[in-house]
Amino acid sequence: MNRLYAIGLCLLFVTAASAQSEAEYEKIAIKKEKLLNSLARNPVDVYPGAHSYVSMSIALMYGLLGAEDSMFYYLNHALDVCDKNPSNEECAENYDPNILGFYHLRNYNKSAAWKKFEGRVTNHYKNTYNPMNLPLAISILKAGGADQSTRMYRLMMQTESATNIIRETDSLNLLFIKKTIAQQGFPGISQVGTPASDAAFLLAQHADDDVEFQKTVLKQMEKLLVTKDVTPSNYAYLYDRIMVKEQGKQYYGTQFRRVKDKELFPIVDAANVNERRRALGMGTVEEYIKTVMGF
């Protein structure tokens, strides 16, 4: 799971009982500010990533509230922490350009402050992954951020309008990823970097109304498996997604019939499923089931 999405889920669990008012969201943001101050007073006991994650969470909340100055302060604070701790792998992941497409921040992407923030994130991605096609990588990651954050937003707001936002976002993302793949094929790791390649898979994975497109993507991913230019587990997830849709069964044990009950769709040749998963660098089905949150 993307770490920025995980931040959103942590934020969500504070508010999950029912959709809440802006005043209540503001109280939560203030409470998180106090938490951040508490972390700052205990630098020895808390790893740097914690400071960055909490700061990002505060920024997203203020983005929803329309508090632009506070939002940018905490966005940049999160990156400042990472700059001071470049060897901290978890902290560095908060530089993921997914944040540039987050629905919570949609009203701020024309300002000079946003351009400066976007530049920091983009340059970090370039220096970390050195993709052959940086503009494409950022575009894909923005789309992936929109995909994940609108789902987070629906869980937070619990309204029909939030559900409609997901439909609109998915429709736009489908047009974007179909055009991208039609023009230059599925974006491999060497072309756009691992995070962007993974985000492209996510967009294809959610194109459930166009199974023929998903099959096209799967064939291209299969070729990239040979050159190790795609994340192997992504291939398994998409393979199962298509198979479940067409046959009601799966091959790698990635798809749940009921997540809440941790019930998988039937697995073909279940006795050997863990061997197939290991061949793609995946853990066992039993380990996978334990990691799934039934909410």
Q: In this structure, which amino acid lies at residue 108?
A: Y
Per-residue model confidence (pLDDT) at position 192: 98
How do residues 141-184 score in pLDDT, each as one tens digit? 999 999 999 988 887 777 788 789 999 999 999 999 999 999 99
Per-residue model confidence (pLDDT) at position 16: 42
Stretches in the chain below the pLDDT threshold 50: 1, 4-5, 7-18, 295
Per-residue model confidence (pLDDT) at position 46: 66
Locate the domains of the chain by residue range: 248-295
Per-residue model confidence (pLDDT) at position 45: 61
Instruction: Name every residue whose Cβ is closer than 8 Å to that of residue 206 and which is 6 or more positions away in sequence.
Output: 147, 170, 173, 174
DSSP helix, strand, coil percent of the chain (3-state; round to 5): 75, 0, 25
The pTM of this model reads 0.85
